[in-house]
Structure 1
């Protein structure tokens, strides 16, 4: 049930994944071993291990999904500031030429706004905000 690199589950996929977690909790409570739970639910043993640990500490609520960590969000003020800095050009920020690359924009965001983006996240941010 792993997502492809960079892929995301749909709402239906997340709901199905959560049902699998709840089935795992039922099996934990019956005393089944990780290997048995993984085989029965057709998931990796590693996933079962990750679910069992919080279940031991916090019960069924601990095994519930906490959701995706999400991506960093920039405020409108931060986006405006970034846009004005990008318009100044790379030379104004110490680069040797006038090419904005994703790596440079990512670095600028980190230095200026203290927010960490991946290259893919930087691309999505730029595409989302024109």
Structure 2
């Protein structure tokens, strides 16, 4: 909201957030119409919810590193974790 108040353009807001300018435009319109309550975060849709056991297992596997899981380097990416 501070960025809207400062008059930043939609593209300046969208780029670092990696969202479309259209999304920033919708947020700005909602902010103008309803203020701060117009743009609450709804979280990320479609993400699976892990239970504590699954989270602990994921932590252990990530700690083991990508090489152990057959990747050629030590970089974790979302695509690799997702597999």
Same fold (TM over 0.5): no
When normalised by structure 2's length, the TM-score is 0.44
Higher Rg of the two aligned structures: 1
